[in-house]
Amino acid sequence: MAELDRGLMHVVKGLLQSMWAATAGRRAAVLAIMLAGVVCACSGAGYGGTLIVETTPSDGAFVIVNGEPWGQTPLTLEGLPPGRVLVQVTMEGYRDAMVNAVVPERDGEERLVIEMTPRTGWVTINSQPEGALITLDDGTELGTTPIMRRMVPSGELTYRLELEDYEPLTHTLTVHEDLLASANHRLDPRPAVLKVVSEPERANILINRRMRDEVTPAEFSLRPGTYVVGLQVEGFVEAERSITLGPNEEQTLEFELNVGDAPPGMVLVPAGEFIAGENNAAPDERPRRRVHLDAFYIDKYAVTNRQYQAVARSHTFPDGEEDFPVTGVTYEQARAFASAVGKRLPTELEWEKAARGTDGRTYPWGNHFDRDLCNSAMSRTVELREVGRYPGGHSPYGVADMAGNVKEWTSSWYQAYPGNPDVTKEYGQLYRVLRGGSFKSEPFDLRVARRHFDRPDAVRDDYGFRCVMDLDDWDGRDRR
């Protein structure tokens, strides 16, 4: 180093002598500039001290100084001239940052800490049912659904939804900077367990009208919902009950079967009084009164396309609608079918008792309308559905679809009830009564006391029927 300094001084001395000999001011100025350049270049006097660049909350940001890349944080910069520089840092997931910094004089040290601002957007996350806990893949809990306009880092957001009795769900959502991303999730419930036992055992089991391979006692893993469970065993009356299973729930149905038998697909409506009619609804429903009826059997479901075609061979229907109620039949066609299978059409009071029970309720399931218990104009889709689709809406006797789906022919003429003084031109032996409302009907027209009427030759796409049988007719049959 000493030899370098002596050489430097020799060069400086020579330049000074030249300057001294020079007579022109311009030449002296040029030589002075040359001197300064040589001194700075050879001695390193033009380099500053150390500049340390750090970023928070994360390291690894790329550093650019005066447009030139230098590396990633944390970064120690040396060899820059002293003075102001423009430091730019860039990192995925964060906004770019630019800071004016000062490179210290030689042998000095300056530390620059740059706060990085995350790139963010917003998310809205819903689940059905609500109340699911949302946890990010780094363990951060966002809260429970619904999550509304929550600020999160932009980019790929992976999260997990968890709700008791439902299967967990993992999802990845792309969140763009300064924009809202949304997601809706339907959680799958954990299966429910249904145990079915009976006395006597080894009864055949039907679930929602489908025969199962198992016999009692049996256990089933089922999706939560409402089911109709029926049992059949020779020498005993067929039994059927509805049950609603919640997610991850275990329930047991116990049956004690009665000795005897009943027509297949029919249920018994016992003899006795029931409340018929209404005083404060449609005028033709008056008066509300008690009526005694003998016992009878009634079809649990409306007659289906499959059943009707077995008698009326020319009947056709779309594929997949075998278990839809037959429609577009006249009163006479319905009566002819009933006669062909050894049954008859119900009177309107028989129909009302089978739908209403004995407590005078408004709908087969109770006094308040529930669109989820029948197929009506209030349903989410207004169209004909297969029979037995709404087991929660069964009547007290277990009769299905007595509100909605199809209006059903009865054998009764449309006449005034005894005790009703009203006189209208429609009363008489011109119109037949239909009951039950249809998939086109509003709640008022779905009430069990509601009377509809039409000409016997009328053909409508929401007219169907079901049959009844007298106990004597069944008891008198040869069933050997």
Rounded alpha-carbon distances, angstroms, from residue 78 to 66, 101, 109, 388, 446: 14, 14, 10, 83, 88
Domain 50-115 has CATH 3.40.630.30: no
pLDDT at 29: 41
pLDDT by 10s per residue, the chain, length 480: 334 344 444 444 444 355 435 444 444 443 343 444 444 344 444 688 999 999 999 899 999 999 999 999 999 999 899 999 999 999 988 999 999 999 999 889 999 999 999 999 999 999 999 999 999 999 999 999 999 999 998 999 999 999 999 999 999 999 999 999 999 999 999 999 999 999 999 999 999 878 999 999 999 999 998 888 989 998 888 888 878 899 999 999 999 988 877 888 898 999 999 999 999 999 999 999 999 999 999 999 999 999 999 999 999 999 999 999 999 999 999 999 999 999 999 999 999 999 999 999 999 999 999 999 999 999 988 999 999 888 889 999 989 999 999 999 999 999 999 999 998 999 999 999 999 999 999 999 999 999 999 999 999 999 999 999 999 998 766 554
Are 403 and 390 in contact by the 8 Å Cβ rule? The answer is no
Domain 120-186 has CATH 3.40.50.40: no
Q: Which part of the chain is CATH 3.90.1580.10?
A: 266-475
pLDDT at 476: 67
Torsion of CA 422, 426, 427, 430, to 10 degrees: 180
Q: Which part of the chain is CATH 2.60.40.1120?
A: 50-115, 120-186, 192-256
Rounded alpha-carbon distances, angstroms, from residue 59 to 95, 98, 114: 14, 16, 10
pLDDT at 478: 56
Q: What is the DSSP letter of 306?
A: H
pLDDT at 88: 95
According to CATH, the topology of domain 266-475 is paralog of FGE (formylglycine-generating enzyme) (3.90.1580)
Measured distance CA(398)–CA(387) in Å, rounded: 13
Are 476 and 419 in contact by the 8 Å Cβ rule? The answer is no
CATH class of residue range 192-256: mainly beta
Are 171 and 147 in contact by the 8 Å Cβ rule? The answer is no
Measured distance CA(450)–CA(448) in Å, rounded: 6
pLDDT at 224: 93
Helices within 222-375 (DSSP H only): 305-311, 331-340, 348-356
Residue 206 identity: L
Where do we find the tokens 């270049």? 41
pLDDT at 22: 47
Measured distance CA(53)–CA(222) in Å, rounded: 62
